[in-house]
Structure 1
Amino acid sequence: MAKPNVLIIGAGGVAQVAAHKVAQRADDFGEIHMANRTRAKADAIVQSIRDKGHAVAERIATHTLDGMDSAAVAALIRQTGARIVINVGSPFINMTVLQGCIDTGAAYIDTAIHEDPAKICEAAPWYANYEWKRREDCENSGVTAILGAGFDPGVVNAYARLAEDEYFDKIDEIDIVDINAGNHGRYFATNFDPEINFREFTGKVITWQGGKWQENAMFEVGREWDLPVVGKRTAYLSGHDEIHSLAARYPQADVRFWMGFGDHYINVFTVLKNLGLLSEHPVKTAEGLEVVPLKVVKAVLPDPASLAAGYTGKTCIGDLVKGSRDGKQGEVFIYNVADHEEAFAEVGSQGISYTAGVPPVAAAVLIARGDWDVKRMVNVEDLPARPFLELLGEMGLPTRIIDENGDRPL
């Protein structure tokens, strides 16, 4: 059977990792294509693959694409013969790229929930506002659509599913903890698109607790976590994509997301927010110029891709899952540790981009093999976790487990 052509949409830090990983796994695919609004950025990524000595770089074709135009997306899919689309562009293009896949029958993979540029923190569950409305269309068209196949969301969803499959018959709590103990050496920067990063934290913190949606303010609830490798770190209850699908699969459980922040980040963020500089709504200057404050802040901050060289330290991201089997209570911590310097040496990116960019390629490999080609829309926790996690281990993101038998590899 012919191997499927793959199309990568986007050319940021996560796309760079995804492209390198597709190049490394070229034997699993047919033709490889990259598309971005600015084609030169895709060309630069292909050059970085060439610089690593991958001969496959010579046959990676690049294209110009407006990802907000579903007809243009469908046309490019037809032109390239792509059967798998890895969408690692802005979350603003999710629905148009998804529609392009539905119109052409190509499989769809993304790494984050869709966002409307004009809205922040919509009604829960967030997936129900956009992607889940296309479930029937995907099933009727026989289209495999895997939502949120990054790390968080994505791998952490698979960790929860692994706990369900191999540890518990009833899950009571899922606490997802994301700690970046790295140092990029800049006064202030975000590890991925500043606009998307800030939008996560300017709205309400929404979690699923006690069988209902609960709201808190950002940085209202914090606690100290003692984690492998990175040690004791303070993390704050935050709203995040995976809560909104995990709550549907595990409605009896409390589902929370905790993200680590240092005092400096919190101070700068608070000042920017209080000054109105994180607003997504346009304002007019005294000279009559209309600007969006959030986009101005994005423009003056370092490009996240520029942080990779010289970034030191590690990340630790995992799920603390509590539950019971046959009435016996227990807990398990399933996690990964990634190294910023190792990520840069391998693919020229920092660790945050690495953890987000490897998983969608693993999902694409599983679709190409048929294991995850389910011909319908799913979130990662709806699929068997072990094949995904084992493949990720081969690709540079090994899973470790702390249970009653100690700390061990998957």
Structure 2
Amino acid sequence: MKKNVLIIGAGGVAQVVAHKAAQNNDILGDIHIASRSIAKCEKIVAEVLEKGSLKVPGVLKAHALDALDIEATKALIRETGVEIVINVGSAFVNMSVLRAVIDTGVAYIDTAIHEDPAKICETPPWYGNYEWHHGDECAAKGITAIHGAGFDPGVVNAYAALAVQDYFDQVDSIDIIDVNAGSHGRYFATNFDPEINFREFTGQVYSWQNGEWQTNQMFEISRIDDLPVVGEQTTYLSGHDEIHSLSRNLPVKDIRFWMGFGAHYINVFTVLKNLGLLSEQPVMTAEGLEVVPLKVVKAVLPDPSSLAPDYTGKTCIGDLVKGTRDGAAREIFIYQICDHKESYDEVGSQAISYTAGVPPVAAAILIARGDWDVRRQVNVEELPPHPFLDLLNRIGLPSRIRDGEGDRALEFTQAEDGRWSVAGA
């Protein structure tokens, strides 16, 4: 049984991870938090202690770490005695942290695909450019490395696997829909790292259609859905991490990702892009200073973690799955609703961070228990979805399903022989 956790990162998602790990430290053991800013880590530690999140007395400690420094990361892993690393730092550090994990023999969880700061929207599948190169090494050394274990990617991958396994004989399409119907009250801000946020939308939009990659421009294609709780919403075809693993691991010919944007966001984004302010390539100022426009924009926008106190409203994220069962057409929507204010009241973060931060802790618990300690490299859809989704139901992210029989909680049962079933499948 693996235990003792190192959380890499100190943003809004890391704050959620720290609180949820503390709430389950009877299973996870010691908790260590590391980032370049030890002050941010210490602030998270103080907030976890202030809210009394530790389930049992235990270690909760902050560390300074440049996660791009592989040797320093390896040294911290060995010094702390952790056996599970939860990487919720910038996507730029993934491969450095993964290298350190493989070299030290501990388990690894991340929530997004690695990115090269100098490249945007590389040739798909994106995992094939970086993470998947280490699959054979992870298997040979018995390293459990779970990629994309946030919400999207992560929970939506588990929804997709559940649909394929339990609800359909054949799945024809999976449309992942992500809507934030909340309001933070600022003129303009992004809900997570602005640099990563903008990079998702400035290049090609890749989708998996008719069993091959298709490209479009951002905001070129939209749809309108009447969603549970948040109502009628317009979303846009977007490129996203989970498509790049689902297209390889599930027998589905159409897999798309749709994200909701308001007109104001689109207008500001368009102006910034047309002015060249979202470029990742350096430019020279008149004073002879080399700057990256995208990093300048990031510097002047609000820190996403600062939005939490004033955030209201809810998010709705789920998988709309279509196919056939017993020769008849079938459609289901498996989804989760998260409230911004409730998230802030519990852990001091808004719902975007909450939905991203709870799942990797669930994954860590499943590794600790042995359910997901598979000693190889995987994406979430390659793992049993039932224990993951059942655990999320219990620790803060309950899922629901809407189909021809109505809208109800997604409930799981485990038999004495260990086999899982889901109600209504």
Fold conserved (TM > 0.5)?
A: yes
**Do the aligned residues in 2 keep the contact of 1:211 with 1:251 (CA within 8 Å)?**
no
Q: What is aligned with 1:38?
A: 37
Q: What is aligned with 1:129?
A: 129
Q: Distance in 1 between matches of 2:121 and 2:78?
A: 35
Q: What is aligned with 2:377?
A: 377
**Do the aligned residues in 2 keep the contact of 1:282 with 1:290 (CA within 8 Å)?**
yes
Q: Distance in 2 between matches of 1:5 and 1:345?
A: 27
Q: What is aligned with 1:341?
A: 341
CA RMSD, Structure 1 to Structure 2 (Å): 1.1
What is the deviation of 1:326? 3.4
What is the deviation of 1:29? 1.6
**SS of 1:259 mapped into structure 2:** strand
Q: What is aligned with 1:173?
A: 173
**Do the aligned residues in 1 keep the contact of 2:279 with 2:294 (CA within 8 Å)?**
yes
Superimposed CA distance per residue, residues 166-206 of structure 1 (whole angstroms, 9 cap, x where no aligned partner) = 11121110000000000000000000000000000000000
Instruction: Summarize the alignment of residues 360-371 of structure 1 with structure 2, pairs less than 5 Å apart.
Output: 360-371=360-371
**Do the aligned residues in 2 keep the contact of 1:178 with 1:258 (CA within 8 Å)?**
yes
**Do the aligned residues in 2 keep the contact of 1:47 with 1:57 (CA within 8 Å)?**
no
Task: Write the letter of the residue equivalent to 1:267.
Answer: N
Point out the more displaced range, 70-79 or 218-227. 70-79
**Do the aligned residues in 2 keep the contact of 1:16 with 1:349 (CA within 8 Å)?**
yes
1:353 and 2:364 are equivalent in the alignment: no
Q: What is aligned with 1:74?
A: 74
Superimposed CA distance per residue, residues 231-284 of structure 1 (whole angstroms, 9 cap, x where no aligned partner) = 001000000000000101234420000000000000000000000000000001
Q: What is aligned with 2:331?
A: 331
**SS of 2:317 mapped into structure 1:** strand
What is the deviation of 1:57? 7.9
Task: Write the letter of the residue equivalent to 1:161.
Answer: A
Superimposed CA distance per residue, residues 283-337 of structure 1 (whole angstroms, 9 cap, x where no aligned partner) = 0111111110000000000000000001000000000011123332211100000
**SS of 1:173 mapped into structure 2:** strand
Q: Distance in 2 between matches of 1:245 and 1:63?
A: 33
**SS of 1:309 mapped into structure 2:** helix
Superimposed CA distance per residue, residues 82-112 of structure 1 (whole angstroms, 9 cap, x where no aligned partner) = 1100000000000111111100110000000
**SS of 1:122 mapped into structure 2:** coil
Superimposed CA distance per residue, residues 25-67 of structure 1 (whole angstroms, 9 cap, x where no aligned partner) = 1111221111111111100000111110235687211111111
Q: What is aligned with 1:409?
A: 409
Q: Distance in 1 between matches of 2:63 and 2:248?
A: 38
**Do the aligned residues in 2 keep the contact of 1:49 with 1:57 (CA within 8 Å)?**
no
Task: Write the letter of the residue equivalent to 2:132.
Answer: W
1:85 and 2:85 are equivalent in the alignment: yes
**Do the aligned residues in 1 keep the contact of 2:147 with 2:378 (CA within 8 Å)?**
yes
**Do the aligned residues in 1 keep the contact of 2:25 with 2:58 (CA within 8 Å)?**
no
What is the deviation of 1:113? 0.5
Task: Write the letter of the residue equivalent to 1:28.
Answer: I
**Do the aligned residues in 2 keep the contact of 1:84 with 1:364 (CA within 8 Å)?**
yes
Instruction: Summarize the alignment of residues 269-284 of structure 1 with structure 2, pairs less than 5 Å apart.
Output: 269-284=269-284
Point out the more displaced range, 366-375 or 163-172. 163-172
Q: Distance in 2 between matches of 1:39 and 1:50?
A: 16
**Do the aligned residues in 2 keep the contact of 1:169 with 1:325 (CA within 8 Å)?**
yes
Q: Distance in 2 between matches of 1:58 and 1:345?
A: 23
Identical columns (%): 70
Instruction: Summarize the alignment of residues 148-167 of structure 1 with structure 2, pairs less than 5 Å apart.
Output: 148-167=148-167
Q: Distance in 1 between matches of 2:167 and 2:328?
A: 11
**Do the aligned residues in 2 keep the contact of 1:23 with 1:57 (CA within 8 Å)?**
no
**SS of 1:367 mapped into structure 2:** helix
1:13 and 2:12 are equivalent in the alignment: yes
Unaligned stretches of 5+ in structure 1?
Answer: none
**Do the aligned residues in 2 keep the contact of 1:109 with 1:147 (CA within 8 Å)?**
yes
**Do the aligned residues in 1 keep the contact of 2:144 with 2:373 (CA within 8 Å)?**
yes
Q: What is aligned with 2:423?
A: none
Instruction: Summarize the alignment of residues 43-122 of structure 1 with structure 2, pairs less than 5 Å apart.
Output: 43-55=42-54, 59-122=59-122
**Do the aligned residues in 1 keep the contact of 2:29 with 2:58 (CA within 8 Å)?**
no
Q: Distance in 2 between matches of 1:31 and 1:13?
A: 21
**Do the aligned residues in 2 keep the contact of 1:50 with 1:57 (CA within 8 Å)?**
no
Q: Please give the TM-score of this superposition, normalised by the length of structure 1.
A: 0.98
Superimposed CA distance per residue, residues 119-157 of structure 1 (whole angstroms, 9 cap, x where no aligned partner) = 000000000000000001100110000000000000000
Point out the more displaced range, 184-193 or 395-404. 395-404
1:24 and 2:23 are equivalent in the alignment: yes
**Do the aligned residues in 1 keep the contact of 2:283 with 2:290 (CA within 8 Å)?**
yes
**SS of 1:108 mapped into structure 2:** strand
Task: Write the letter of the residue equivalent to 2:276.
Answer: G
Q: Distance in 2 between matches of 1:178 and 1:367?
A: 27
Task: Write the letter of the residue equivalent to 2:229.
Answer: V
Superimposed CA distance per residue, residues 352-398 of structure 1 (whole angstroms, 9 cap, x where no aligned partner) = 00000000000000000000000000000001111101100111100
Q: What is aligned with 1:209?
A: 209
What is the deviation of 1:212? 0.8
Point out the more displaced range, 4-13 or 263-272. 4-13
**Do the aligned residues in 1 keep the contact of 2:30 with 2:58 (CA within 8 Å)?**
no
Q: What is aligned with 2:420?
A: none
What is the deviation of 1:70? 1.5
Q: Distance in 1 between matches of 2:100 and 2:141?
A: 12
Q: Distance in 1 between matches of 2:28 and 2:146?
A: 18
Q: What is aligned with 1:4?
A: 3
1:258 and 2:255 are equivalent in the alignment: no
Instruction: Summarize the alignment of residues 229-244 of structure 1 with structure 2, pairs less than 5 Å apart.
Output: 229-244=229-244
**SS of 1:235 mapped into structure 2:** strand
Q: What is aligned with 1:193?
A: 193
